[in-house]
A and B are shown apart, each in its own frame.
Chain A
Amino acid sequence: MGFNPLEHQGIPLERQLRNWRELNVEPVDPDHGDPYTKCRVITMNGIEVEAILFSHQFARHCPDPEVKRQLAEVRYIEHQQQKAVNWLLPGLSSVLETTIAYEQVAVDLTGWVARHEPDPYLKQAYEFGVLEDFDHLYRYANLYEMIEHRKAETIVDGLTEVMPGRPTKFHHRNPVDNVREPYDRTKTDPLSKLHALTIMSAEQQTMNFYMNVGPQYMEPIARQLYQEIGLIEEEHVTHYESLVDPGETWWEQLVNHEYNECYLYHSFMEQESDPKVKAVWELHLNMELEHLRIACDLMRRHDGREPAEILAPELPNVLTFEENKQFVRNLLDTQMDLTTLGTGYVRDAHERFERMQEQIHGGEEPPSERVMAQHREMFGREYRLETEGPHPDVASREKD
């Protein structure tokens, strides 16, 4: 029998507040250790940020002062969780190093979810997104070598390949073509709800991160690349958030959020290699169990429904950070030239796509192309990390 968070008791809320000493976590080593530990930290930060932003939005739409106070109490603890999690990142890392770790998350988290998503329409949405984040990783890796003279393999450690995906310049679509169809909350597999929430949260945090750190760079090409990829992250948030059924009530959404946090902390606790980080996942799981209990009570009281009706009877298999190389290579072989039209996918560059491309590029090469040209000028080659052989797409192989 798997883990059912509804049957476990967490830490009572009044005992969850931490003092400064307890919040002062020791960061992970910047150059050693498991890259996937950093990926788990980045993922959980995105999850906590979404928990906080969702709770704020909920409070702004909530006329009941008693509920507002209840939300505020839990939200403050979630803020502390976000601090404890994100402060595991080392101050010694540069912004670009953290960026490359963010893109490794985007590739290997979305890759895993795509492989395990039961609904074919949702699966396609994740497969489509993976190839774009994969290309962002390659562009940032080249920028990183130009600025810091280090290779991205010192960050991704050979677990994720670095080579072209769907070219970034083709990610700029007409915004209406970024809106997908939602799953049906009454029929969908509970696992699909968790997947959608997880990937939406991760992409939203990536968007927030790039929109804030991009202007910290002095180098013009760096500033411009963050602008370009930052805009694509907005497209990804639009893409993934539209998968969620908007018919879910606020109470239902709250329960889904808390349940998902339990699922992810439980998953990461099971696989964490760093004992100090594992202790954080374990502590936070025990806090989330209580947050879930509170959310379930609110749902019963205000929605008149049993949370068990919308949740799975037990947690699904643990979500795992692991290599997705063959999966990504298969997508590179088959889905490079896809774009979206309405809520579907096509291989043709349709009129609306072409118009958007003309307008945004203004007849010039975008930053994602110029970064490669400048890198080639500087080093006489590109930076790539192709551990499993040449690029599956012949046209994407490096030209001498």
Chain B
Amino acid sequence: MAGITASDADVVALLMRQHGEIRNLFDEVERTGGDERRAAFRRLVQLLAVHETAEEEVVHPFTRAAVTDGGKIVDDRLAEEREAKEVLSRLDGMDPDDPKFLPGLLALRLDVMAHARAEERYEFNHIRRSADKARLASMATALRAAEAMAPTHPHPGTESAAKNMALGPIAAVMDRTRDAVRKAMGKDG
């Protein structure tokens, strides 16, 4: 195996990186306030949407098809995702300065983290075992195409809630991500 430094060619290393970035964004939302928090939370929500969409399009189908009892593994992951999404949708309509926001965010963080760890332990290990190098690389390409839909670091001058909101509602982000992934998979998959 190429090892983690060649992460651009390994979908698992890329997914692990996104898990880290999601946690880093949680940290940022927790330690900021006001507009800064609103902006960080928008980025978190977008990254979560992009990450989960890409997994649904790229990673879970592979697990279903290539891993023994992969369907059951994916079903468990989707159940965790649903739980996290419910907490997320409750938070999404809330003002980040609302006193109920932070406790909700901490609950979401634990749900998201439990889901991510379960993926790392019960799904990604199968992917590394079952996918050859070329497949790991083509899945990585699709994931990077998805990632382009969610800038994890704010671009200078766009650090305002209004402009981040301009990226559109979550459903639209997910649609765009899905299109980008499918295009990339068609090209390389």
Q: Using CB atoms and an 8 Å cutoff, list the residues of chain A in contact with chain B.
A: 29-32, 91-92, 94, 146-150, 154, 218-221, 374, 377-378
Assess the B3–A149 pair: CB atoms within 8 A: no
Q: Does B178 contact A (CB under 8 A)?
A: no
Q: Does B32 contact A (CB under 8 A)?
A: no
Would you give the shortest CB distance from B161 to chain A, in whole angstroms?
Answer: 25
Given A30-B113, A92-B117, 4 additional A-B pairs, CB 8 A: A150-B24, A154-B23, A378-B5, A378-B7
Would you give the shortest CB distance from B102 to chain A, in whole angstroms?
Answer: 11
Would you give the shortest CB distance from A208 to chain B, in whole angstroms?
Answer: 21
Assess the A92–B110 pair: CB atoms within 8 A: yes
Chain B interface main SS type: helix
A92 to B118, CA, bound (A): 9
Number of residues from B at the complex interface, CB < 8 A: 24
Assess the A147–B117 pair: CB atoms within 8 A: no
Known: A91-B117, A146-B4. A218 touches B125 (CB 8 A): yes
Q: Does B20 contact A (CB under 8 A)?
A: yes
Assess the B117–A31 pair: CB atoms within 8 A: no
Q: Does B80 contact A (CB under 8 A)?
A: no
Partner pick for A31 among B13, B23, B125, B128, CB 8 A cutoff: B23
Partner pick for A377 among B5, B117, B125, CB 8 A cutoff: B5
Partner pick for A154 among B7, B16, B27, CB 8 A cutoff: B27
Q: Does B114 contact A (CB under 8 A)?
A: yes
A377 to B3, CA, bound (A): 13
Assess the B5–A148 pair: CB atoms within 8 A: no
Partner pick for B128 among A29, A94, A218, CB 8 A cutoff: A218
Specify which chain B residues have a CB less than 8 angstroms from the CB of A374 in the assembled complex: 3-5
Known: A30-B113, A92-B110, A92-B114. A150 touches B20 (CB 8 A): yes
Known: A221-B3, A374-B3, A378-B5. A149 touches B21 (CB 8 A): yes
Q: Using CB atoms and an 8 Å cutoff, list the residues of chain B in contact with chain A.
A: 1, 3-5, 7, 13, 16-17, 19-21, 23-24, 26-27, 106, 109-110, 113-114, 117, 120, 125, 128
A148 to B4, CA, bound (A): 10
Residue of B nearest to A218 (CB): B128
Specify which chain A residues have a CB less than 8 angstroms from the CB of B23 in the assembled complex: 31, 150, 154
Assess the A147–B16 pair: CB atoms within 8 A: yes
Specify which chain A residues have a CB less than 8 angstroms from the CB of B114 in the assembled complex: 92
Known: A154-B27, A219-B3, A220-B3. A92 touches B113 (CB 8 A): yes
Would you give the shortest CB distance from B9 to chain A, in whole angstroms?
Answer: 13
Would you give the shortest CB distance from A30 to chain B, in whole angstroms?
Answer: 7
Residue of B nearest to A219 (CB): B4
A5 to B129, CA, bound (A): 55
Specify which chain B residues have a CB less than 8 angstroms from the CB of A378 in the assembled complex: 4-5, 7
A150 to B17, CA, bound (A): 9
27 contacts between A and B (CB under 8 A): A29-B110, A31-B23, A31-B109, A31-B113, A92-B110, A92-B113, A92-B117, A94-B117, A94-B120, A146-B5, A148-B16, A148-B19, A149-B16, A149-B17, A149-B24, A150-B20, A150-B24, A154-B23, A218-B1, A218-B125, A219-B1, A219-B3, A219-B4, A221-B3, A374-B3, A377-B5, A378-B7
